[in-house]
């Protein structure tokens, strides 16, 4: 259904499907196919998945609804939104902190996107070399060797990251976000279908059931408090919440968009894609004797093995990594847009200059993550190399803190029965979703802030 964008002078999403697709385009990314499986593998499987889903329902989703509401009420970027709702208070700092989160996330995300690009090339070469290709094997030692060769090479690690960054920068500078939106809308369904294909192959391998058990049969005795924090961090990361991306997106929502329903749909689709990725990867992990706790390399050593064991595998593998790159691009654009928009609107620099400055800064910070398995392998802070530090600090500290303050802000600014907020969530009473809005308000004012605070402090070992 085509409809006019809301009558504001700012850019806006034009259709309901556009709203859904754009938000989904930010949420679905490497978080689903790379981060979810590797964290699930490291943290013992099903029990972790369940905590992650609970955190999504009680923390990620309510924060997403809050961010969309704040954005649409103010129709402003993440810092100005707070300024408009609470003038002369320091709440806008929540928006500023989001920029820091964006840099931390992009530092490692761009490197993983670079690995995906490298794997497009590698699987493309395998496609031409047939069974002689380096990735045409289901031997764990061989596929790990291919990955280790890439990350231990400092020059290639930097090149692939820069290619990813320049690609994202070019898209943002060109301002073709419309094109990206249209592209994501078409390609996400293909990624979904391809994941289904990989799932079917993976589930029909000998010994696949062990993997399903790992993913779906919980053993809560193995769950540590740091794993609970990691699961909550993943819930933030997955839905792109806790740093202002979704405030910005909400500010483009048309007046008739149903904020709570849209957020629920995005959340369901996003969880589904992650579970599909898990079902594609874990049966193969067990069938081929891989290590589920392999860490960030998990995707890159198991996926080639699954494809190598199926007809036309090399072809599907190229396709899989291309679609992963597309999903990663949509997510990265939504991350990089945050600092670019701020530089552009606050310092008055042109979009091109703002983008170039942001990308150069990202390359500088990100290179420490890119080199963390080679040149900087021995450089550690808080017992972690730079890649792991950026990964850990963003998801497990910055995003939860952002989410905590956003939920406090909702409580402080609107309280429980605030008409303004209820009007935004019910489209001035035209939507029949009163109970949903009430449930949301109860969760965001009570459950979310308390849960985030306890899990954060406990996970960081501050209660011990
Ligand atoms: N959600 C994306 C993913 O899963 C990553 C992402 C994009 C993100 N924008 C974000 C994470 C903003 C946190 C905040 O790949």
Tell me what pLDDT residue 407 has: 96
Query: Is 303:281 a contact under the CB 8 Å cutoff?
Result: yes
Query: Which residue in 139, 136, 112 sits closest to 123, CA to CA?
Result: 136
CA angle 330, 333, 339 (to 5 degrees): 155
Average pLDDT, rounded, for the chain: 89
- Across 10-49, b (16+ Cβ under 10 Å) vs e yields eebbbebebbbbbbbbbbbbbbbbbbbbbbbbbbbbbbbb
Ligand 1 atom with the smallest distance to the CA of 31 is 4
Contact 398 CB / ligand 1 (< 6 Å) = no
Average pLDDT over residues 220-235: 93
Average pLDDT over residues 69-84: 92
Contact 24 CB / ligand 1 (< 6 Å) = no
Q: Which of 88-97, 108-117, 295-304, 311-320 has the lowest mean pLDDT?
A: 311-320
Inform me whether the pLDDT recorded for 4 exceeds 50. no
- Gyration radius of the chain over CA positions: 21
Contact 133 CB / ligand 1 (< 6 Å) = no
Contact 334 CB / ligand 1 (< 6 Å) = yes
- Across 345-370, b (16+ Cβ under 10 Å) vs e yields eeeeeeeeebbeebbeebbebbbbbb
* pLDDT tier, 323 (very low <50, low <70, confident <90, very high otherwise): confident
122 CA to middle of ligand 1, Å? 26
173 CB contacts (<8 Å, ≥6 apart)? 351, 352, 355, 356
Contact 136 CB / ligand 1 (< 6 Å) = no
Tell me what pLDDT residue 82 has: 94
- Within 10 angstroms of residue 461's Cβ, the number of other Cβ atoms is 10
> Using CA atoms, how far apart are residues 424 and 439, in angstroms rounded to an integer?
15
* pTM for this predicted structure: 0.93
241 CA to middle of ligand 1, Å? 7
> Using CA atoms, how far apart are residues 299 and 115, in angstroms rounded to an integer?
10
* pLDDT tier, 189 (very low <50, low <70, confident <90, very high otherwise): confident
243 CA to middle of ligand 1, Å? 10
Inform me whether the pLDDT recorded for 206 exceeds 60. yes
* pLDDT tier, 373 (very low <50, low <70, confident <90, very high otherwise): confident
Contact 110 CB / ligand 1 (< 6 Å) = no
Inform me whether the pLDDT recorded for 190 exceeds 90. no
Q: Which of 33-42, 108-117, 374-383 has the lowest mean pLDDT?
A: 374-383
* pLDDT tier, 2 (very low <50, low <70, confident <90, very high otherwise): very low
* pLDDT tier, 302 (very low <50, low <70, confident <90, very high otherwise): confident
Tell me what pLDDT residue 5 has: 42
Q: Can you name the residues that pair with 384 across neighbouring β-strands?
A: 381
Query: Which residue in 8, 38, 19 sits closest to 282, CA to CA?
Result: 38
Query: Which residue in 447, 436, 456 sits closest to 408, CA to CA?
Result: 447
Residue having the nearest C-alpha atom to atom 4 of ligand 1: 31
Q: Which of 163-177, 271-285, 331-345 has the lowest mean pLDDT?
A: 163-177
> Using CA atoms, how far apart are residues 100 and 236, in angstroms rounded to an integer?
15
As a whole-number percent, the residues of the chain with pLDDT over 70 amount to 95
> Using CA atoms, how far apart are residues 410 and 126, in angstroms rounded to an integer?
53
Average pLDDT over residues 236-260: 92
Average pLDDT over residues 90-103: 92
Inform me whether the pLDDT recorded for 387 exceeds 90. yes
Tell me what pLDDT residue 180 has: 64
> Using CA atoms, how far apart are residues 241 and 74, in angstroms rounded to an integer?
18
- Within 10 angstroms of residue 217's Cβ, the number of other Cβ atoms is 10
26 CA to middle of ligand 1, Å? 6
Inform me whether the pLDDT recorded for 265 exceeds 90. yes
272 CB contacts (<8 Å, ≥6 apart)? none
3-state secondary structure of 384: strand
Residue having the nearest C-alpha atom to atom 6 of ligand 1: 240
Tell me what pLDDT residue 247 has: 93
């Amino acid at each position: 259904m085509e409809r006019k964008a809301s009558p504001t002078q700012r850019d806006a999403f034009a259709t309901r499907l556009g709203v859904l697709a754009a938000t989904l385009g930010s949420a679905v990314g490497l978080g689903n196919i790379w981060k979810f499986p590797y964290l699930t593998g490291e943290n013992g499987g099903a029990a972790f998945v369940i905590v992650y889903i609970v955190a999504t329902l009680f923390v990620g989703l309510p924060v997403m609804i809050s961010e969309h509401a704040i954005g649409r009420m103010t129709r402003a970027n993440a810092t100005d939104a707070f300024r408009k709702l609470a003038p002369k208070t320091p709440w806008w700092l929540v928006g500023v902190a989001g920029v820091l989160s964006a840099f931390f996330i992009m530092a490692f995300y761009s490197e993983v996107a670079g690995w995906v690009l490298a794997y497009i090339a590698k699987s493309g070469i395998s496609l031409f070399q047939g069974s002689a290709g380096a990735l045409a094997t289901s031997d764990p030692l061989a596929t790990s060797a291919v990955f280790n060769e890439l990350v231990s090479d400092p020059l290639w690690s930097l090149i692939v990251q820069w290619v990813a960054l320049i690609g994202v920068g070019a898209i943002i500078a060109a301002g073709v976000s419309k094109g990206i939106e249209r592209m994501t809308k078409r390609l996400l369904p293909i990624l979904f279908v391809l994941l289904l294909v990989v799932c079917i192959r993976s589930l029909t391998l000998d010994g696949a059931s062990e993997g399903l058990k790992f993913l779906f049969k919980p053993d809560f005795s193995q769950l540590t408090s740091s794993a609970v924090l990691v699961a909550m961090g993943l819930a933030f990361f997955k839905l792109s919440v806790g740093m202002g991306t979704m405030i910005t997106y909400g500010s483009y929502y048309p007046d008739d968009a149903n904020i709570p329903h849209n957020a629920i749909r995005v959340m369901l689709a996003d969880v589904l894609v992650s579970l599909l990725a898990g079902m594609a990867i874990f049966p193969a992990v067990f069938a081929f004797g891989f290590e589920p706790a392999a860490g960030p390399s998990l995707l890159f050593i198991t996926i080639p093995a699954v494809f190598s064991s199926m007809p036309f595998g090399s072809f599907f593998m190229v396709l899989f990594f291309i679609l992963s790159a597309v999903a990663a691009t949509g997510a990265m654009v939504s991350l990089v847009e945050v600092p670019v928009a701020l530089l552009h609107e606050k310092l008055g620099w042109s979009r091109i200059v703002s983008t170039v400055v942001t990308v150069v800064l990202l390359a500088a910070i990100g290179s420490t993550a890119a080199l963390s398995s080679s040149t900087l392998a021995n450089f550690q802070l808080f017992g972690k190399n730079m890649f792991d530090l950026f990964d850990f600090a963003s998801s497990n500290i910055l995003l939860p803190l952002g989410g905590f303050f956003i939920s406090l802000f909702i409580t402080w600014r609107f309280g429980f029965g605030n008409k303004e907020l209820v009007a935004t969530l019910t489209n001035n009473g035209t939507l029949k979703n009163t109970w949903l809005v009430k449930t949301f308000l109860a969760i965001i004012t009570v459950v979310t802030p308390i849960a985030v605070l306890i899990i954060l402090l406990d996970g960081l070992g501050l209660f011990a």
